Amino acid sequence: MRRMSGFNVVSLTFGLAFLYLPMLILVIYSFNSSKLVTVWAGFSTKWYGELLHNEAFLDAALVTLKVGAISSTLATVLGTMAAFLLVRLGRFSGRTLFSGMIYAPLVMPDVITGLSLLLLFIGINMDRGITTIVLAHTTFAMCYVSVVVSSRLSSFDTSLEEAALDLGCTPWSAFRLVTLPIIAPAVISGWLLAFTLSLDDLVIASFTAGPSSTTLPMKIFSAVRLGVSPEINALSTLMIGIVAFGVVIFSIMSKRNTALKLQEERDAVDGRT
Amino acid sequence: MRRLALILIPYLWLIALFLIPFVIVIKISLSDVALARPPYFPQLDLTEGFTGIKAFFSELDFENFTFLTTDDLYWKAYLSSLKIAGISTILTLLIGYPIAYGMASARPEWRATLMMLVILPFWTSFLIRVYSWIGILSQGGLLNTFLLWLGVINEPLTILNTEIAVYIGIVYTYLPFMILPIYANLEKLDGSLLEAAEDLGCSRTSAFWLVTVPLSKSGIIAGCFLVFIPAIGEFVIPSLLGGSQTLMIGKVLYEEFFSNRDWPVASAVAVVLLVILIIPIILFQRNEQKNREASQ
């Protein structure tokens, strides 16, 4: 592909504007002092102040972070194990069923996943609360993690591991010292994906939550059903800000990593000559 | 020993929390509503031994499924979900393709940034992205204010709480899923093929239709399925942007369960929805497999 024609510039500009304008408007209007969406009544940060004093939102945010941290960590461990199963074990009896169970949740509508888990929890008489949301989130997030990790694992050179074993490593320390550092980027992005999915989920959480465990998306959903609210705009701005900050930091770090690697390679070449 | 644990832990986890719940859904979809807690009948009573199991199976029937066919709410909801998902998929393709094309023809040093800009919205909350349209599309919202100011319209349009708002919501939230596979395809496209076509007398437009589009076909198909499949069972978008007359099956299922508390019918709705989804899912997997074989 070559040439950047006028048409391409226009479609890219419009495309990115379409993707970003709605969020930009949300951010701008979170600083509006008027309660009305369309009337700009001057700059104010009062909605942020009100947000910080809204205990219901703070509690929900705490529940969400707790669920997200626990479920994404569990999902990363289970998903990495599942990836090893899929990539390394070759044929074992029940493999088809297993890969089916890994891929099915990726395409399953949230309403069905939520409904089926709720029916299970009721069936075994389990009290609904943070634990049940964690179990639900772990289950669907581990499938995403295993897809991410297994794509990395399948391009992994197993002779590195064999070399470590030949040199006297135990299987566990070979995993810890050789395999894990190499697949670490995939494991980290798996964790981040699992965490985001958990923070984002409304439907599955509404099915599996108990009366005392409202998550932030549930709180936002019940608030916005009544229409636009400046407090939710402020909350959204904070959430967008955190994500943007995280992505910028992440990309700076990975850029620095590549630069460091290039420098090392150059030094190595210089040292040789 | 360790190997066995490695196999068993994720395996048992998925059986307990994915397969068994699913079997329960199927079972309840075959049961009758009961005014008890849990509100369905029969319960499997293992203490009665074989007669209990026999009684359990003899109570199961397809009544809920026949009910789905007699009440036109349900089949209308299935049809309108398919229609809404289909139209939104086409719209997403029409909007996404030019963007992917623009990204692929940008200078290489720009591509990574453009790619990040397309993926970034995916990391922000889905709910917030849908919510952001309420303020834009509502009667006194920004779009109407803007159009009134321009003088294009004389009175505010009703967009929020209609199907049009649902289309906008689906296109907006699923756009990255369409752009990325098409971009991945177009990026690999060999520019010399286009030059050859032009040398052989093709105009640029016909070279696009005869060379570029066919070569990006697998990306187009993948993108379409990635939008179409989740859009069918969508719940958040129709309930926030759609009106009471916007029927989508995800919303019907949610309300059947939480408002009507009819668990057997809700389960039957879920089972039928899955049966409908199986066809596009299988077609999608075929397409992916073909791509994998082609790239090897």
Q: Give per-residue pLDDT as tens, A62-99.
A: 999 999 999 999 999 999 999 988 888 777 778 888 88
Q: Can you tell me which residue has the tokens 């930009």?
A: A24
> Is A273 part of any domain?
no
* Local structure of A167: helix, strand or coil: coil
Nearest chain B Cα distance for residue A59, angstroms: 18
Contact A1 B104 (CB under 8 A): yes
- Chain B residues within an 8 Å CB radius of A26: 128, 131-132, 135
Residue pLDDT, tens place only, B246-259: 889 999 999 888 88
User: Containing domain of residue A228, as a range?
Assistant: 55-157+183-240
- Chain A residues within an 8 Å CB radius of B145: 38
pLDDT range class, residue B58, cuts 50, 70, 90: low
Nearest chain B Cα distance for residue A2, angstroms: 5
Q: Are A117 and B257 in contact (CB under 8 A)?
A: no
Tokens of B65: 């499924």
pLDDT at B57: 67
Q: Are B59 and B31 in contact (CB under 8 A)?
A: yes
ipTM of the complex: 0.86
Measured between alpha carbons, how far is A119 from A117 in angstroms, rounded to an integer? 5
Helix or strand holding residue B41 (H, E): strand B40-41
The better pLDDT of the pair A233, B2 is held by A233
pLDDT at A1: 46
Q: Is B68 exposed, middle or buried (0-12, 13-18, 19+ CB in 10 A)?
A: buried
Contact A4 B257 (CB under 8 A): no
pLDDT at A83: 92
Measured between alpha carbons, how far is A230 from B233 in angstroms, rounded to an integer? 30
Q: Which residue among A16, A115, A142 places its CB closest to the CB of B117?
A: A16
- CATH number, domain of A140, equals 1.10.3720.10
Q: Are B252 and B74 in contact (CB under 8 A)?
A: yes
> Is A38 part of any domain?
no
Residue pLDDT, tens place only, B60-71: 777 788 887 788
- Chain B residues within an 8 Å CB radius of A108: 274
pLDDT, average across residues B184-211: 85
Report DSSP letters for B182-195, one per residue.
HHHHHHT--HHHHH
pLDDT at A47: 87
What is the number of structural domains in chain A?
A: 1
Print burial letters for B9-19: b (CB count within 10 Å at least 16), e (below 16): ebbebbeebbe
pLDDT at A46: 85
> Is A63 part of any domain?
yes
Please list the ranges in chain A whose pLDDT falls under 50: 1
pLDDT at B42: 63
Q: In the A/B pair of chains, how many CB contacts fall below 8 A?
A: 227
Q: Is B263 exposed, middle or buried (0-12, 13-18, 19+ CB in 10 A)?
A: buried
Report DSSP letters for A99-152, one per residue.
HHHHHHHHHS-HHHHHHHHHHHHHHTTPPPSHHHHHHHHHHHHHHHHHHHHHHH
Q: Residue ranges of the domains in chain B? A: 23-61, 72-295
**Nearest residue in B to A235, CA atom:** B128
pLDDT at A157: 83
Q: Which CATH superfamily is domain B72-295 in?
A: MetI-like (1.10.3720.10)
For residue B209, give the DSSP letter.
I
**Which segments of chain B does DSSP mark as H helices, in order?**
2-14, 20-29, 49-59, 63-70, 72-105, 108-123, 126-137, 142-150, 163-187, 191-199, 204-207, 213-215, 217-232, 236-240, 249-258, 263-295
> Is A190 part of any domain?
yes
- Chain B residues within an 8 Å CB radius of A199: 125
Interface with A, mutate which of B93, B101, B103, B123 (most A CBs under 10 A): B123
pLDDT range class, residue B39, cuts 50, 70, 90: low
Contact B7 A240 (CB under 8 A): no
pLDDT at A115: 93
- Chain A residues within an 8 Å CB radius of B106: 4, 8, 12
Interface with B, mutate which of A12, A23, A148 (most B CBs under 10 A): A12
Nearest chain A Cα distance for residue B250, angstroms: 6
> Is A206 part of any domain?
yes
Contact B10 A82 (CB under 8 A): yes
- Chain B residues within an 8 Å CB radius of A134: none
> Is A33 part of any domain?
no
Contact A12 B99 (CB under 8 A): yes
Measured between alpha carbons, how far is B282 from B267 in angstroms, rounded to an integer? 23
What percentage of chain B exceeds 90 in pLDDT? 36
pLDDT at A155: 83
pLDDT range class, residue B34, cuts 50, 70, 90: low
- Chain A residues within an 8 Å CB radius of B263: 119
Which among A132, A243, A32 is positioned nearest to B128, based on CA atoms? A243
